[in-house]
Structure 1
Amino acid sequence: MEASSKERLQELAQFLRTRRARIRPEQAGLPGDGRRRTPGLRRGEVAMLAGISADWYTWLEQARPIQVSAQVLESLSRALELDSDERKHLFLLALQQLPADSALPENSVPPLLQAFLDGQGTNPAYVTDPRLNIVAWNKAASTIYGDYERMSPRERNSLWRTFTSPYVREMLRENWENHARHRLAHFRANYGQFPGDPWWMELIGDLSRASAEFREWWPMHDVLNGPEGRKINHHPTAGRLVFDQISFLVSDAPHLTVTINLPANEDDTPSKLARLLSGEA
Protein backbone atom coordinates (compact mmCIF):
# COMPACT_ATOMS: atom_id res chain seq x y z
CA MET A 1 0.00 0.00 0.00
CA GLU A 2 1.30 3.50 -0.84
CA ALA A 3 2.31 5.68 2.09
CA SER A 4 -0.31 8.32 1.20
CA SER A 5 -3.13 5.73 1.16
CA LYS A 6 -1.94 4.27 4.46
CA GLU A 7 -1.88 7.71 6.05
CA ARG A 8 -5.38 8.47 4.72
CA LEU A 9 -6.81 5.22 6.14
CA GLN A 10 -5.18 5.87 9.49
CA GLU A 11 -6.68 9.34 9.51
CA LEU A 12 -10.08 7.81 8.72
CA ALA A 13 -9.71 5.32 11.56
CA GLN A 14 -8.80 8.03 14.06
CA PHE A 15 -11.65 10.24 12.88
CA LEU A 16 -14.18 7.42 13.38
CA ARG A 17 -12.85 6.68 16.85
CA THR A 18 -13.11 10.31 17.96
CA ARG A 19 -16.67 10.66 16.60
CA ARG A 20 -17.68 7.41 18.30
CA ALA A 21 -16.20 8.49 21.63
CA ARG A 22 -18.26 11.65 21.90
CA ILE A 23 -21.70 9.98 21.69
CA ARG A 24 -23.30 8.76 24.90
CA PRO A 25 -25.40 5.56 24.64
CA GLU A 26 -28.49 7.42 25.87
CA GLN A 27 -27.97 10.02 23.15
CA ALA A 28 -28.17 7.26 20.54
CA GLY A 29 -31.25 5.66 22.13
CA LEU A 30 -29.28 2.84 23.76
CA PRO A 31 -29.38 1.87 27.44
CA GLY A 32 -26.48 3.19 29.50
CA ASP A 33 -25.00 0.49 31.75
CA GLY A 34 -22.62 2.81 33.62
CA ARG A 35 -19.74 0.32 33.45
CA ARG A 36 -17.82 1.63 30.43
CA ARG A 37 -14.08 2.05 30.71
CA THR A 38 -13.97 4.52 27.84
CA PRO A 39 -16.50 7.20 26.88
CA GLY A 40 -18.88 6.90 23.96
CA LEU A 41 -20.30 4.03 21.97
CA ARG A 42 -18.72 0.63 21.47
CA ARG A 43 -17.76 -0.48 17.96
CA GLY A 44 -20.54 -3.05 17.87
CA GLU A 45 -23.09 -0.40 18.81
CA VAL A 46 -21.99 1.87 15.97
CA ALA A 47 -22.19 -1.08 13.59
CA MET A 48 -25.69 -1.94 14.82
CA LEU A 49 -26.90 1.67 14.46
CA ALA A 50 -25.42 1.84 10.94
CA GLY A 51 -26.77 -1.56 9.88
CA ILE A 52 -23.38 -3.06 9.06
CA SER A 53 -21.38 -5.94 10.53
CA ALA A 54 -19.28 -5.35 13.63
CA ASP A 55 -16.25 -6.97 11.98
CA TRP A 56 -16.51 -4.70 8.97
CA TYR A 57 -16.69 -1.56 11.11
CA THR A 58 -13.78 -2.81 13.23
CA TRP A 59 -11.67 -3.17 10.09
CA LEU A 60 -12.41 0.46 9.26
CA GLU A 61 -11.15 1.58 12.67
CA GLN A 62 -8.09 -0.62 12.16
CA ALA A 63 -7.27 1.26 8.94
CA ARG A 64 -7.53 -1.84 6.78
CA PRO A 65 -7.69 -1.24 2.99
CA ILE A 66 -11.30 -2.37 2.46
CA GLN A 67 -13.81 -1.09 -0.08
CA VAL A 68 -16.52 1.18 1.27
CA SER A 69 -19.66 2.41 -0.49
CA ALA A 70 -21.34 5.79 -0.32
CA GLN A 71 -24.44 4.09 1.10
CA VAL A 72 -22.46 2.71 4.05
CA LEU A 73 -20.83 6.08 4.65
CA GLU A 74 -24.26 7.70 4.76
CA SER A 75 -25.35 5.13 7.36
CA LEU A 76 -22.23 5.83 9.42
CA SER A 77 -22.85 9.58 9.15
CA ARG A 78 -26.29 9.13 10.67
CA ALA A 79 -25.12 6.69 13.35
CA LEU A 80 -22.30 8.99 14.43
CA GLU A 81 -24.51 12.09 14.14
CA LEU A 82 -22.05 13.91 11.89
CA ASP A 83 -22.74 17.48 10.84
CA SER A 84 -22.38 18.53 7.19
CA ASP A 85 -18.67 19.39 7.47
CA GLU A 86 -17.87 16.14 9.26
CA ARG A 87 -19.85 14.16 6.69
CA LYS A 88 -17.85 15.72 3.85
CA HIS A 89 -14.63 14.96 5.72
CA LEU A 90 -15.70 11.33 6.13
CA PHE A 91 -16.35 10.97 2.39
CA LEU A 92 -13.04 12.60 1.48
CA LEU A 93 -11.11 10.28 3.77
CA ALA A 94 -12.96 7.12 2.72
CA LEU A 95 -13.62 7.74 -0.98
CA GLN A 96 -11.46 10.77 -1.76
CA GLN A 97 -14.51 12.60 -3.04
CA LEU A 98 -17.35 14.67 -1.67
CA PRO A 99 -20.82 13.16 -1.17
CA ALA A 100 -23.13 13.48 -4.18
CA ASP A 101 -26.17 15.13 -2.64
CA SER A 102 -29.40 14.78 -4.59
CA ALA A 103 -30.72 17.81 -2.74
CA LEU A 104 -28.64 20.95 -3.09
CA PRO A 105 -28.24 23.39 -0.20
CA GLU A 106 -30.57 26.34 -0.07
CA ASN A 107 -29.48 29.08 -2.43
CA SER A 108 -30.37 31.95 -0.13
CA VAL A 109 -27.67 34.59 -0.44
CA PRO A 110 -26.49 36.20 2.81
CA PRO A 111 -27.12 39.97 2.97
CA LEU A 112 -23.38 40.59 3.32
CA LEU A 113 -22.73 38.75 0.04
CA GLN A 114 -25.42 40.78 -1.75
CA ALA A 115 -23.85 43.93 -0.31
CA PHE A 116 -20.50 42.78 -1.70
CA LEU A 117 -22.03 42.35 -5.17
CA ASP A 118 -23.67 45.78 -5.00
CA GLY A 119 -20.38 47.28 -3.86
CA GLN A 120 -18.73 46.20 -7.11
CA GLY A 121 -20.28 49.25 -8.79
CA THR A 122 -19.70 49.12 -12.55
CA ASN A 123 -18.15 45.63 -12.36
CA PRO A 124 -20.83 43.11 -13.45
CA ALA A 125 -20.94 40.49 -10.66
CA TYR A 126 -23.17 37.52 -9.94
CA VAL A 127 -23.41 34.31 -7.91
CA THR A 128 -24.06 30.83 -9.34
CA ASP A 129 -24.88 27.49 -7.70
CA PRO A 130 -23.56 24.07 -8.84
CA ARG A 131 -26.38 23.83 -11.38
CA LEU A 132 -25.12 27.11 -12.92
CA ASN A 133 -28.27 28.91 -11.83
CA ILE A 134 -27.64 32.62 -11.27
CA VAL A 135 -28.99 33.18 -7.76
CA ALA A 136 -27.77 36.74 -7.06
CA TRP A 137 -26.45 39.67 -9.11
CA ASN A 138 -25.77 43.39 -9.04
CA LYS A 139 -27.16 46.21 -11.17
CA ALA A 140 -24.24 46.13 -13.61
CA ALA A 141 -24.73 42.42 -14.34
CA SER A 142 -28.45 42.85 -14.89
CA THR A 143 -27.84 45.84 -17.17
CA ILE A 144 -25.29 44.03 -19.34
CA TYR A 145 -26.58 40.44 -19.41
CA GLY A 146 -30.34 40.87 -19.02
CA ASP A 147 -32.96 41.64 -16.39
CA TYR A 148 -32.58 38.61 -14.12
CA GLU A 149 -35.39 39.83 -11.89
CA ARG A 150 -37.91 39.28 -14.71
CA MET A 151 -36.50 35.94 -15.84
CA SER A 152 -37.95 32.56 -14.91
CA PRO A 153 -35.75 30.16 -12.91
CA ARG A 154 -35.00 28.23 -16.11
CA GLU A 155 -33.98 31.42 -17.92
CA ARG A 156 -31.62 32.26 -15.05
CA ASN A 157 -29.76 29.00 -15.65
CA SER A 158 -26.66 30.17 -17.50
CA LEU A 159 -26.23 26.93 -19.45
CA TRP A 160 -29.82 27.01 -20.72
CA ARG A 161 -29.52 30.67 -21.61
CA THR A 162 -26.19 30.19 -23.38
CA PHE A 163 -27.63 27.58 -25.75
CA THR A 164 -31.13 28.99 -26.25
CA SER A 165 -31.00 32.80 -25.94
CA PRO A 166 -30.59 34.82 -29.17
CA TYR A 167 -29.52 37.78 -27.00
CA VAL A 168 -26.58 35.85 -25.53
CA ARG A 169 -25.55 34.48 -28.92
CA GLU A 170 -25.56 37.95 -30.45
CA MET A 171 -23.80 39.53 -27.47
CA LEU A 172 -20.95 37.00 -27.67
CA ARG A 173 -20.88 36.78 -31.49
CA GLU A 174 -17.52 35.34 -32.63
CA ASN A 175 -16.76 34.15 -29.07
CA TRP A 176 -20.04 32.30 -28.55
CA GLU A 177 -18.71 28.80 -29.31
CA ASN A 178 -15.75 29.13 -26.94
CA HIS A 179 -18.04 30.46 -24.22
CA ALA A 180 -20.65 27.74 -24.80
CA ARG A 181 -18.07 24.93 -24.74
CA HIS A 182 -16.51 26.32 -21.56
CA ARG A 183 -19.91 26.64 -19.87
CA LEU A 184 -20.88 23.12 -20.94
CA ALA A 185 -17.60 21.64 -19.66
CA HIS A 186 -18.15 23.38 -16.30
CA PHE A 187 -21.69 21.98 -16.14
CA ARG A 188 -20.42 18.48 -17.02
CA ALA A 189 -17.81 18.66 -14.23
CA ASN A 190 -20.51 19.57 -11.70
CA TYR A 191 -22.87 16.91 -13.06
CA GLY A 192 -20.34 14.27 -12.03
CA GLN A 193 -21.51 14.78 -8.44
CA PHE A 194 -25.19 14.25 -9.32
CA PRO A 195 -25.46 11.55 -12.03
CA GLY A 196 -29.04 10.49 -12.62
CA ASP A 197 -30.53 13.31 -10.52
CA PRO A 198 -33.98 14.21 -11.96
CA TRP A 199 -33.33 17.96 -12.18
CA TRP A 200 -30.11 17.48 -14.14
CA MET A 201 -31.64 14.82 -16.40
CA GLU A 202 -34.58 17.08 -17.24
CA LEU A 203 -32.34 20.00 -18.21
CA ILE A 204 -30.05 17.76 -20.26
CA GLY A 205 -33.06 16.32 -22.08
CA ASP A 206 -34.58 19.74 -22.76
CA LEU A 207 -31.28 21.13 -24.04
CA SER A 208 -30.78 18.09 -26.26
CA ARG A 209 -34.09 18.88 -27.93
CA ALA A 210 -33.54 22.65 -28.06
CA SER A 211 -29.93 22.90 -29.31
CA ALA A 212 -28.08 21.07 -32.07
CA GLU A 213 -24.75 22.21 -30.63
CA PHE A 214 -25.60 20.81 -27.22
CA ARG A 215 -26.60 17.46 -28.79
CA GLU A 216 -23.25 17.33 -30.58
CA TRP A 217 -21.00 18.43 -27.71
CA TRP A 218 -22.60 16.78 -24.67
CA PRO A 219 -21.42 13.23 -25.59
CA MET A 220 -17.81 14.48 -25.75
CA HIS A 221 -17.61 14.52 -21.92
CA ASP A 222 -15.37 17.60 -21.77
CA VAL A 223 -14.86 18.77 -18.17
CA LEU A 224 -13.43 22.05 -16.96
CA ASN A 225 -13.59 24.40 -13.99
CA GLY A 226 -12.46 27.96 -13.49
CA PRO A 227 -13.20 31.36 -15.03
CA GLU A 228 -13.08 32.11 -18.73
CA GLY A 229 -10.45 34.84 -18.49
CA ARG A 230 -10.83 37.57 -21.13
CA LYS A 231 -14.44 38.04 -22.20
CA ILE A 232 -15.75 40.21 -25.06
CA ASN A 233 -19.40 41.32 -25.08
CA HIS A 234 -21.28 43.31 -27.71
CA HIS A 235 -23.93 45.25 -25.84
CA PRO A 236 -26.80 46.54 -28.02
CA THR A 237 -26.45 50.05 -26.58
CA ALA A 238 -22.91 50.43 -25.23
CA GLY A 239 -21.19 48.49 -28.01
CA ARG A 240 -18.05 46.41 -27.56
CA LEU A 241 -17.13 45.75 -23.94
CA VAL A 242 -14.02 43.86 -22.79
CA PHE A 243 -13.77 42.19 -19.37
CA ASP A 244 -11.29 40.14 -17.39
CA GLN A 245 -13.15 37.54 -15.34
CA ILE A 246 -12.35 36.24 -11.86
CA SER A 247 -14.30 33.63 -9.85
CA PHE A 248 -14.06 32.29 -6.30
CA LEU A 249 -16.04 30.18 -3.84
CA VAL A 250 -17.81 31.66 -0.83
CA SER A 251 -16.06 30.33 2.28
CA ASP A 252 -19.21 29.95 4.41
CA ALA A 253 -21.30 28.73 1.46
CA PRO A 254 -18.87 26.71 -0.71
CA HIS A 255 -21.65 25.58 -3.07
CA LEU A 256 -21.89 29.19 -4.31
CA THR A 257 -19.46 30.76 -6.78
CA VAL A 258 -18.95 34.51 -7.13
CA THR A 259 -17.95 35.77 -10.58
CA ILE A 260 -16.78 39.33 -11.17
CA ASN A 261 -16.18 40.83 -14.60
CA LEU A 262 -13.53 43.55 -14.34
CA PRO A 263 -13.65 46.15 -17.17
CA ALA A 264 -10.45 46.05 -19.20
CA ASN A 265 -8.78 49.22 -20.42
CA GLU A 266 -9.80 48.46 -23.99
CA ASP A 267 -12.42 50.04 -26.27
CA ASP A 268 -13.17 52.63 -23.58
CA THR A 269 -14.98 49.90 -21.59
CA PRO A 270 -14.89 51.62 -18.15
CA SER A 271 -16.34 54.85 -19.52
CA LYS A 272 -18.98 53.02 -21.56
CA LEU A 273 -20.10 51.12 -18.46
CA ALA A 274 -20.26 54.29 -16.37
CA ARG A 275 -22.43 56.01 -18.99
CA LEU A 276 -24.64 52.96 -19.43
CA LEU A 277 -25.29 52.59 -15.72
CA SER A 278 -25.96 56.30 -15.30
CA GLY A 279 -28.57 56.15 -18.07
CA GLU A 280 -26.64 58.29 -20.55
CA ALA A 281 -26.08 55.57 -23.12
Structure 2
Amino acid sequence: MDRRALADFLRNKRARISPVDVGLPQGHRRRTPGLRREEVAQLAYISVDHYTRLEQARGRHPSRRVLGGIARALRLTDQERARLFQLAGEREESEAAAPVREVQPSTLNLIERLSDTAAIVVDPTCRVLAWNPLAAALLEDFSALAPGQERNLIRRYFLHPDPDLRHYGMGASDQFAVTAVSYLRMAATRYPDSREVQDLVAELVAGSEDFARLWESHQFRIDRHLQQSVRHPQVGAIELDFDVLTVPDQEQQVVIFTAEPDSPAYRSLQLLKVIGTQRMTVES
Protein backbone atom coordinates (compact mmCIF):
# COMPACT_ATOMS: atom_id res chain seq x y z
CA MET A 1 0.00 0.00 0.00
CA ASP A 2 1.45 3.35 -1.11
CA ARG A 3 -0.08 5.63 1.54
CA ARG A 4 1.28 8.91 0.24
CA ALA A 5 0.32 8.26 -3.38
CA LEU A 6 -3.12 7.08 -2.28
CA ALA A 7 -3.59 10.25 -0.22
CA ASP A 8 -2.62 12.47 -3.17
CA PHE A 9 -4.97 10.52 -5.45
CA LEU A 10 -7.94 10.91 -3.09
CA ARG A 11 -7.41 14.63 -2.54
CA ASN A 12 -7.13 15.21 -6.28
CA LYS A 13 -10.29 13.28 -7.12
CA ARG A 14 -12.30 14.83 -4.27
CA ALA A 15 -11.45 18.35 -5.46
CA ARG A 16 -12.84 17.75 -8.92
CA ILE A 17 -16.30 16.51 -7.81
CA SER A 18 -19.03 19.09 -7.27
CA PRO A 19 -21.75 18.45 -4.66
CA VAL A 20 -24.29 18.84 -7.45
CA ASP A 21 -22.60 15.97 -9.32
CA VAL A 22 -23.60 13.54 -6.55
CA GLY A 23 -27.02 14.97 -5.73
CA LEU A 24 -26.00 17.10 -2.74
CA PRO A 25 -26.89 20.77 -2.24
CA GLN A 26 -24.18 23.27 -3.16
CA GLY A 27 -24.49 25.15 0.12
CA HIS A 28 -22.44 28.18 1.07
CA ARG A 29 -19.03 29.02 2.51
CA ARG A 30 -17.07 26.34 0.70
CA ARG A 31 -13.46 27.42 1.05
CA THR A 32 -12.17 24.87 -1.47
CA PRO A 33 -13.67 23.33 -4.62
CA GLY A 34 -15.14 19.86 -4.61
CA LEU A 35 -16.68 17.73 -1.91
CA ARG A 36 -15.88 17.98 1.78
CA ARG A 37 -14.23 15.01 3.43
CA GLU A 38 -17.31 14.31 5.52
CA GLU A 39 -19.45 14.24 2.38
CA VAL A 40 -17.20 11.65 0.75
CA ALA A 41 -17.29 9.61 3.96
CA GLN A 42 -21.09 9.74 4.07
CA LEU A 43 -21.43 8.71 0.44
CA ALA A 44 -18.88 5.91 0.91
CA TYR A 45 -20.47 4.74 4.17
CA ILE A 46 -17.25 4.99 6.17
CA SER A 47 -16.34 7.10 9.16
CA VAL A 48 -15.02 10.62 8.60
CA ASP A 49 -11.96 9.73 10.69
CA HIS A 50 -11.15 6.71 8.51
CA TYR A 51 -11.38 8.72 5.29
CA THR A 52 -9.46 11.68 6.74
CA ARG A 53 -6.61 9.40 7.79
CA LEU A 54 -6.44 7.96 4.28
CA GLU A 55 -6.10 11.47 2.83
CA GLN A 56 -3.42 12.25 5.41
CA ALA A 57 -1.38 9.16 4.49
CA ARG A 58 -1.73 7.68 7.95
CA GLY A 59 -4.77 5.46 7.65
CA ARG A 60 -5.07 1.73 8.18
CA HIS A 61 -5.32 -0.58 5.20
CA PRO A 62 -8.80 -0.07 3.62
CA SER A 63 -10.90 -3.11 2.76
CA ARG A 64 -12.09 -3.75 -0.78
CA ARG A 65 -15.63 -2.83 0.21
CA VAL A 66 -14.40 0.49 1.63
CA LEU A 67 -12.47 1.16 -1.57
CA GLY A 68 -15.53 0.34 -3.63
CA GLY A 69 -17.56 2.83 -1.60
CA ILE A 70 -14.96 5.54 -2.09
CA ALA A 71 -14.83 4.82 -5.83
CA ARG A 72 -18.60 5.27 -6.10
CA ALA A 73 -18.58 8.40 -3.94
CA LEU A 74 -15.89 10.04 -6.10
CA ARG A 75 -17.51 8.87 -9.36
CA LEU A 76 -14.27 7.25 -10.54
CA THR A 77 -13.95 5.88 -14.04
CA ASP A 78 -13.04 2.21 -14.49
CA GLN A 79 -9.39 3.16 -14.96
CA GLU A 80 -9.40 5.45 -11.92
CA ARG A 81 -11.09 2.76 -9.84
CA ALA A 82 -8.42 0.26 -10.86
CA ARG A 83 -5.73 2.79 -9.90
CA LEU A 84 -7.37 3.32 -6.49
CA PHE A 85 -7.26 -0.40 -5.74
CA GLN A 86 -3.68 -0.63 -7.00
CA LEU A 87 -2.49 2.18 -4.73
CA ALA A 88 -4.21 0.52 -1.78
CA GLY A 89 -2.54 -2.79 -2.58
CA GLU A 90 -5.84 -4.56 -3.09
CA ARG A 91 -7.30 -6.76 -5.80
CA GLU A 92 -10.24 -5.08 -7.45
CA GLU A 93 -13.61 -6.71 -6.92
CA SER A 94 -16.79 -6.33 -8.92
CA GLU A 95 -18.80 -3.32 -7.87
CA ALA A 96 -21.97 -4.15 -5.97
CA ALA A 97 -25.07 -3.58 -8.07
CA ALA A 98 -27.46 -3.37 -5.12
CA PRO A 99 -27.42 -2.83 -1.34
CA VAL A 100 -26.04 -5.68 0.78
CA ARG A 101 -28.84 -7.49 2.62
CA GLU A 102 -26.81 -10.00 4.62
CA VAL A 103 -26.26 -8.90 8.22
CA GLN A 104 -22.97 -9.98 9.74
CA PRO A 105 -23.14 -12.32 12.78
CA SER A 106 -21.18 -9.77 14.83
CA THR A 107 -23.86 -7.13 14.16
CA LEU A 108 -26.64 -9.55 15.06
CA ASN A 109 -24.82 -10.45 18.25
CA LEU A 110 -24.47 -6.74 19.09
CA ILE A 111 -28.16 -5.91 18.83
CA GLU A 112 -29.12 -9.12 20.64
CA ARG A 113 -26.92 -8.15 23.60
CA LEU A 114 -28.50 -4.69 23.81
CA SER A 115 -31.32 -6.02 25.95
CA ASP A 116 -32.25 -2.60 27.40
CA THR A 117 -32.08 -0.91 23.99
CA ALA A 118 -34.40 -1.09 21.00
CA ALA A 119 -32.18 -1.71 17.96
CA ILE A 120 -32.76 -2.33 14.27
CA VAL A 121 -30.43 -2.77 11.28
CA VAL A 122 -31.37 -1.04 8.03
CA ASP A 123 -29.84 -0.97 4.55
CA PRO A 124 -29.25 2.22 2.48
CA THR A 125 -32.87 2.18 1.26
CA CYS A 126 -34.18 2.12 4.87
CA ARG A 127 -35.27 -1.50 4.64
CA VAL A 128 -35.28 -3.19 8.06
CA LEU A 129 -33.00 -6.23 7.88
CA ALA A 130 -32.80 -7.27 11.55
CA TRP A 131 -34.17 -6.23 14.93
CA ASN A 132 -34.05 -7.21 18.56
CA PRO A 133 -37.00 -8.04 20.84
CA LEU A 134 -37.33 -4.56 22.33
CA ALA A 135 -37.45 -2.96 18.87
CA ALA A 136 -40.32 -5.27 17.95
CA ALA A 137 -42.11 -4.21 21.14
CA LEU A 138 -41.44 -0.49 20.66
CA LEU A 139 -42.08 -0.23 16.91
CA GLU A 140 -43.84 -3.30 15.49
CA ASP A 141 -43.49 -7.04 14.94
CA PHE A 142 -41.44 -6.94 11.74
CA SER A 143 -41.61 -10.74 11.49
CA ALA A 144 -45.34 -10.38 10.71
CA LEU A 145 -44.58 -8.18 7.67
CA ALA A 146 -43.54 -9.36 4.23
CA PRO A 147 -39.81 -8.88 3.58
CA GLY A 148 -38.94 -6.03 1.25
CA GLN A 149 -41.52 -3.33 0.67
CA GLU A 150 -43.50 -3.83 3.88
CA ARG A 151 -40.37 -3.61 6.04
CA ASN A 152 -39.13 -0.41 4.40
CA LEU A 153 -39.33 2.53 6.82
CA ILE A 154 -39.27 5.29 4.21
CA ARG A 155 -41.97 3.58 2.17
CA ARG A 156 -44.09 3.18 5.31
CA TYR A 157 -43.59 6.82 6.28
CA PHE A 158 -44.69 8.29 2.94
CA LEU A 159 -47.18 5.69 1.67
CA HIS A 160 -48.92 4.23 4.74
CA PRO A 161 -52.68 4.77 4.30
CA ASP A 162 -53.09 5.95 7.93
CA PRO A 163 -50.98 9.09 8.62
CA ASP A 164 -51.32 8.52 12.38
CA LEU A 165 -49.55 5.17 12.15
CA ARG A 166 -46.88 5.83 9.55
CA HIS A 167 -44.12 7.05 11.90
CA TYR A 168 -44.70 4.85 14.99
CA GLY A 169 -45.82 7.85 17.03
CA MET A 170 -42.48 9.66 16.69
CA GLY A 171 -42.67 13.33 17.58
CA ALA A 172 -39.84 14.62 15.36
CA SER A 173 -41.17 12.86 12.28
CA ASP A 174 -40.20 15.69 9.90
CA GLN A 175 -36.56 15.26 10.89
CA PHE A 176 -36.84 11.55 10.19
CA ALA A 177 -38.33 12.28 6.76
CA VAL A 178 -35.44 14.52 5.67
CA THR A 179 -32.84 12.07 7.00
CA ALA A 180 -34.52 9.08 5.33
CA VAL A 181 -34.75 10.88 1.99
CA SER A 182 -31.08 11.85 2.32
CA TYR A 183 -30.12 8.18 2.83
CA LEU A 184 -32.17 7.19 -0.21
CA ARG A 185 -30.50 9.94 -2.22
CA MET A 186 -27.10 8.48 -1.28
CA ALA A 187 -28.33 4.99 -2.24
CA ALA A 188 -29.40 6.28 -5.66
CA THR A 189 -25.92 7.76 -6.09
CA ARG A 190 -24.07 4.62 -4.97
CA TYR A 191 -26.25 2.20 -6.96
CA PRO A 192 -27.17 4.09 -10.14
CA ASP A 193 -27.99 0.86 -12.03
CA SER A 194 -30.16 -0.70 -9.32
CA ARG A 195 -33.66 -1.22 -10.67
CA GLU A 196 -34.91 -1.75 -7.12
CA VAL A 197 -33.70 1.68 -5.98
CA GLN A 198 -35.04 3.31 -9.16
CA ASP A 199 -38.45 1.66 -8.71
CA LEU A 200 -38.63 2.69 -5.04
CA VAL A 201 -37.91 6.33 -5.87
CA ALA A 202 -40.44 6.29 -8.71
CA GLU A 203 -43.11 4.73 -6.48
CA LEU A 204 -42.53 7.31 -3.75
CA VAL A 205 -42.55 10.26 -6.18
CA ALA A 206 -45.80 9.05 -7.73
CA GLY A 207 -47.49 8.17 -4.44
CA SER A 208 -46.48 11.01 -2.13
CA GLU A 209 -46.46 14.74 -2.78
CA ASP A 210 -44.41 15.23 0.40
CA PHE A 211 -41.73 12.86 -0.82
CA ALA A 212 -41.71 14.39 -4.32
CA ARG A 213 -41.25 17.85 -2.80
CA LEU A 214 -38.33 16.73 -0.62
CA TRP A 215 -36.73 14.79 -3.46
CA GLU A 216 -36.88 17.74 -5.83
CA SER A 217 -35.63 20.18 -3.17
CA HIS A 218 -32.26 18.37 -2.93
CA GLN A 219 -32.27 18.86 0.84
CA PHE A 220 -29.56 16.79 2.47
CA ARG A 221 -29.26 16.28 6.20
CA ILE A 222 -28.16 13.21 8.14
CA ASP A 223 -29.15 13.34 11.80
CA ARG A 224 -27.18 10.67 13.64
CA HIS A 225 -28.40 11.74 17.07
CA LEU A 226 -31.80 13.03 18.11
CA GLN A 227 -33.96 13.16 21.18
CA GLN A 228 -37.13 11.48 20.04
CA SER A 229 -40.54 11.22 21.68
CA VAL A 230 -42.34 8.00 20.78
CA ARG A 231 -46.00 7.60 21.70
CA HIS A 232 -46.60 3.90 22.26
CA PRO A 233 -50.23 2.63 22.28
CA GLN A 234 -49.63 0.54 25.43
CA VAL A 235 -47.31 2.63 27.62
CA GLY A 236 -47.82 6.17 26.32
CA ALA A 237 -45.15 8.74 25.46
CA ILE A 238 -41.51 7.67 25.88
CA GLU A 239 -38.67 10.22 25.64
CA LEU A 240 -35.74 8.42 24.00
CA ASP A 241 -32.31 9.12 22.55
CA PHE A 242 -32.09 8.10 18.91
CA ASP A 243 -28.64 7.22 17.51
CA VAL A 244 -27.46 5.88 14.16
CA LEU A 245 -24.27 3.82 13.99
CA THR A 246 -22.64 2.84 10.70
CA VAL A 247 -21.47 -0.67 9.77
CA PRO A 248 -18.97 0.51 7.11
CA ASP A 249 -18.13 -2.74 5.30
CA GLN A 250 -21.82 -3.59 4.88
CA GLU A 251 -23.13 -0.09 4.10
CA GLN A 252 -25.75 -0.66 6.79
CA GLN A 253 -26.93 1.34 9.79
CA VAL A 254 -27.69 0.22 13.33
CA VAL A 255 -30.45 2.45 14.74
CA ILE A 256 -30.78 2.38 18.52
CA PHE A 257 -33.30 3.91 20.93
CA THR A 258 -32.00 4.34 24.47
CA ALA A 259 -33.14 5.92 27.74
CA GLU A 260 -31.30 7.23 30.79
CA PRO A 261 -31.14 4.49 33.46
CA ASP A 262 -33.86 4.77 36.12
CA SER A 263 -35.69 7.47 34.15
CA PRO A 264 -39.45 7.19 33.39
CA ALA A 265 -38.57 6.33 29.78
CA TYR A 266 -36.22 3.56 30.95
CA ARG A 267 -38.96 2.11 33.11
CA SER A 268 -41.35 2.23 30.14
CA LEU A 269 -38.86 0.25 28.06
CA GLN A 270 -38.53 -2.28 30.86
CA LEU A 271 -42.31 -2.62 30.89
CA LEU A 272 -42.32 -3.18 27.13
CA LYS A 273 -39.79 -5.99 27.59
CA VAL A 274 -42.38 -7.78 29.70
CA ILE A 275 -45.60 -7.07 27.82
CA GLY A 276 -44.59 -7.03 24.19
CA THR A 277 -41.31 -8.61 23.11
CA GLN A 278 -40.65 -10.74 20.08
CA ARG A 279 -37.81 -13.13 19.25
CA MET A 280 -35.02 -11.41 17.32
CA THR A 281 -35.40 -12.12 13.62
CA VAL A 282 -33.40 -11.62 10.43
CA GLU A 283 -35.03 -10.90 7.08
CA SER A 284 -35.39 -14.05 5.01
Normalized against structure 1, the TM-score is what? Answer: 0.62
**Structure 2 vs 1, CA of residues 213 and 264 (structure 1 numbering), >3 Å: closer, same or farther?**
farther
Residue 224 of structure 1 corresponds to: 221
Aligned amino acid, residue 275 of structure 1: L
In structure 1, runs of 5+ residues without a counterpart are: 13-67, 89-98
Please give the per-residue CA displacement for 1:248-279, whole angstroms capped at 9, x wherever unaligned: 2235x341221211124797111111112201
Residue 37 of structure 1 corresponds to: none
Name which one, 1 or 2, has greater alpha-carbon Rg. Answer: 1
Q: Alignment partner of 2:177: what SS? A: helix
Q: Pick 1 or 2: higher relative contact order, CA cutoff 8 A, min separation 6.
A: 2
Are positions 1:235 and 2:251 aligned together? no
Q: Alignment partner of 2:149: what SS? A: coil
Aligned amino acid, residue 279 of structure 1: I
Are positions 1:108 and 2:132 aligned together? no
Q: Alignment partner of 1:109: what SS? A: coil
Aligned amino acid, residue 277 of structure 1: K
Residue 159 of structure 2 corresponds to: 164
Contact 1:242 1:267 in 2 (8 A): no
Q: Percent identity?
A: 17
In structure 2, runs of 5+ residues without a counterpart are: 13-74, 278-284
- Tell me whether 207-216 or 107-116 shows the greater mean CA deviation: 107-116
Aligned amino acid, residue 8 of structure 2: R
Aligned amino acid, residue 271 of structure 2: R
Contact 1:109 1:135 in 2 (8 A): yes
Offset of residue 216 of structure 1: 1.6
Offset of residue 5 of structure 1: 9.1
Residue 122 of structure 2 corresponds to: 128
Residue 266 of structure 2 corresponds to: 270
CA distance in 2, matches of 1:183, 1:192: 14
Residue 193 of structure 1 corresponds to: 190
CA distance in 2, matches of 1:188, 1:239: 34
**Structure 2 vs 1, CA of residues 267 and 103 (structure 1 numbering), >3 Å: closer, same or farther?**
same
Residue 62 of structure 1 corresponds to: none
**Structure 2 vs 1, CA of residues 265 and 213 (structure 1 numbering), >3 Å: closer, same or farther?**
farther
CA distance in 1, matches of 2:6, 2:275: 63
1:70 to 59, 64, 77: 77
Contact 1:233 1:240 in 2 (8 A): yes
Contact 2:98 2:191 in 1 (8 A): no
CA distance in 2, matches of 1:163, 1:186: 15
Please give the per-residue CA displacement for 1:129-185, whole angstroms capped at 9, x wherever unaligned: 12221111101111111111121211211211121233234612x522222122212
Residue 257 of structure 1 corresponds to: 253
Q: What number of residue pairs does the alignment pair up? A: 207
- Tell me whether 111-120 or 68-77 shows the greater mean CA deviation: 68-77
Residue 8 of structure 1 corresponds to: 8
Contact 2:188 2:198 in 1 (8 A): no
Contact 1:127 1:258 in 2 (8 A): yes
